[in-house]
Structure 1
């Protein structure tokens, strides 16, 4: 889709005309909601952004004495969608929460404030708002732009004599993995990969998206699709198999891969140099830096390429959107909207978005030299985007519960040797069709 391509191209053009955010880029230290005391409860999923969000909230409330911001984070292996539903069902509805795109726009219809008049809307890159629109109205503010692929340790690759720039196809990746596997002892690694089989979002959402991002042009197309063909099902299998066969196995069996979680993968294995490659995205930068600052400067993103599609690509898109609860009173909604606007458009907030959140902003106006992404993963994503070597994120258009409760659950059975791949695909096709009836 042209809009998606424009989005990806524009994200890397962070050298736009100065002053694009002049109308909404200045710090605002005045009280919100006419000085009335307001409490804004935020219920969000992004564990990696928790500390930065806490800092931002404190900075904002120091200048807006009448506003109290409470933040609750549910993520890192927990089921955010289920937790959010429970939160609403309990009567403790948050003022700000997260939605993923077309499917969740439908799921939460009636509880989403129309944000079309917000000042940041006109500054969003082309395509960044597409998955948050219904009938031309905007119901979500994009978090950031993210990309994922095979994150690799440059020091290990150099020691193994592998040039990562030569890896474009799956065959190239297989060759590199074979080399790494043959040199595990001298490289000091336990395995080439660490696949977090316990994390349904990694396999059921992100790995599957590499295949389906080449089948559907965007998330809206996926949302509107009555069936899924899995045209690239064989390539999907290869991406999983290479991680399973060469992956970290706690007890030596494939089944034990299903006990590996995000923390084990990123913190205990990759960040400590015990594996060479993991399937993740630029959101891990802060975690790696906190464990090994030197390693954080020496990581990059390899392509996740499927045979029969464009070589050398990674998926790039908007991961989630900030939503404002339409059920809240006018003062609370105003304060919630003001905080989000301040965070992404004020001079102070923009610095936090880059330096603390380590986000790739989905908005124009970040042209200043101190507002450029600095971590190597963000730089790699911009490099892929500039070259047009990206595929869209379509998983926000998957049927509700399909990727985790159905597809990923079957993938876990496949990893354990309890289900054939043909059955994984046939079950996925049937469950998708059933959900769309």
Structure 2
């Protein structure tokens, strides 16, 4: 893609050169945590062996949420027990180019029956190839289904509601005399971070926060999730005014300045090694082992907590970067599953999705074992994992904001925004440079990627 160079500091010029050299090929999925493979969460190459041993009559589902691989396979076994229909779960993660992989399947005439999309950017690849799911049972029981904007037809199955902001270790905060309920704005977070930093030895922590900003593997966390708060943080559901501005190549100066302040705060009080070179595993382990008070991840880390023998209390807070109070947390579907309309068993694929949404055994697995919140009004299963329980309080109270970032153009986080966060984390650019570069990078990417 073409990028114009920025006439600011030398460090800025260096990063702009990186941006100028971005390839324009298929980007990795920007589905955030869906794309990540934790060593504590999954076995290597499971999806390959599953595909190789699948019978010719089996349904095949491409899942981008690697941390629920085992639970999905358990649900698939339940479905087979009840219907006789085999379903093979092929989970992709660890930085895999999910959309590129699905495109390669299409080119090889090897499309799965069910495949994942992360939002409008991904859906644009498959608009003419998805089955209409409007007549399904699941579609009658949720407000979170993905709909084709032109036709209004339901085309995407929502398997969960997830939420994120900043996750805290309640035991550490209690020991420091900090009430998490008081952390509603930037000034409150700043005071809390400073206090925690001054008490590191007493609290036995290594840093205040576990943050990872290395662009190669963690662009989804910075360019999608953290920057997602700029788009819709604190806004009512469906209010996308700042996102709509961004998709025209424009960012709001005052809001971006506040966001930059919070980003600087997170980076200043993060563990420096994890910040600039850490993987998702590194980031999670640091917090789960009680070495930081905060982590910039969401309730999808719940299934991993037993692996680290986590016993401390934990909860979620909005990433309240504004001077005014922010009480809404970002919560939405992390991605959706579509049915390939020319597949060998479209009705069977629909039946499996209905099973996941309506069968009590399936909902038990997805909610209690996978640690997710059901998007289905007919489900009576309550979550039990700590962060899902915390998130559900926001959902039940109507204190949530939408995930507008999932509708960004494909590759925006990976090929552009993540690189700017990376440079800021490494100290290559200043906070003022960060603001300038975010504005110019957004404008350039949107201008050069118009459909």
Contact 2:138 2:358 in 1 (8 A): yes
How does the TM-score come out when normalised to structure 1? Answer: 0.82
Counterpart in the other structure of 1:393? 403
Contact 1:112 1:326 in 2 (8 A): yes
1:18-33 alignment runs, 5 A limit: none
Counterpart in the other structure of 2:341? 326
Counterpart in the other structure of 1:376? 386
Is 2:353 aligned against 1:340?
Answer: yes
Counterpart in the other structure of 1:94? 112
Q: Deviations over 1:72-96 (max 9, x none)?
A: 2112443323333333334332111
1:168-247 alignment runs, 5 A limit: 168-198=184-214, 199-214=218-233, 217-218=239-240, 222=244, 225-231=247-253, 232-247=255-270
Contact 2:232 2:242 in 1 (8 A): no
Counterpart in the other structure of 2:442? 428
Deviation at 1:223, TM superposition (A): 10
Counterpart in the other structure of 1:162? 178
| SS across alignment from 2:334 | coil
Q: C-alpha distance in 2, partners of 1:224/1:135? A: 25
Is 2:286 aligned against 1:269?
Answer: yes
Contact 1:116 1:139 in 2 (8 A): yes
Q: 1:85 to 1:185 in 2, by over 3 A?
A: farther
Q: C-alpha distance in 1, partners of 2:370/2:244? A: 30
Q: Deviations over 1:248-279 (max 9, x none)?
A: 122xxxxx62321111111x211111111001
Q: C-alpha distance in 2, partners of 1:294/1:308? A: 33
Is 2:326 aligned against 1:311?
Answer: yes
Q: Deviations over 1:174-202 (max 9, x none)?
A: 11111111111111111111112131111
Q: C-alpha distance in 1, partners of 2:125/2:245? A: 12
1:49-60 alignment runs, 5 A limit: 49-60=68-79
How does the TM-score come out when normalised to structure 2? Answer: 0.80
Q: C-alpha distance in 2, partners of 1:74/1:309? A: 40
Q: Is there any run of 5+ residues in structure 1 with no aligned partner, and where?
A: 1-35, 251-255
Q: C-alpha distance in 1, partners of 2:99/2:384? A: 32
| Number of residue-to-residue matches in the alignment | 386
Contact 2:211 2:295 in 1 (8 A): yes
CA RMSD between the two structures: 2.4
Counterpart in the other structure of 2:164? 148
Deviation at 1:37, TM superposition (A): 6.7
Deviation at 1:293, TM superposition (A): 4.4
Q: Is there any run of 5+ residues in structure 2 with no aligned partner, and where?
A: 1-54
Q: Match for 1:46 among 61, 65, 78?
A: 65
Q: C-alpha distance in 1, partners of 2:447/2:325? A: 28
Q: C-alpha distance in 1, partners of 2:242/2:81? A: 40
Q: 1:349 to 1:144 in 2, by over 3 A?
A: same
Q: C-alpha distance in 2, partners of 1:309/1:115? A: 42
Moved more, 82-91 or 67-76: 82-91
Deviation at 1:322, TM superposition (A): 1.0
Q: C-alpha distance in 2, partners of 1:395/1:193? A: 23
Counterpart in the other structure of 2:138? 120
Q: 1:221 to 1:230 in 2, by over 3 A?
A: closer
Q: C-alpha distance in 2, partners of 1:71/1:346? A: 18
Moved over 6 A (4+): none
Q: Match for 1:68 among 86, 104, 115?
A: 86
Deviation at 1:309, TM superposition (A): 5.8
Q: 1:335 to 1:388 in 2, by over 3 A?
A: closer
Contact 2:283 2:295 in 1 (8 A): yes
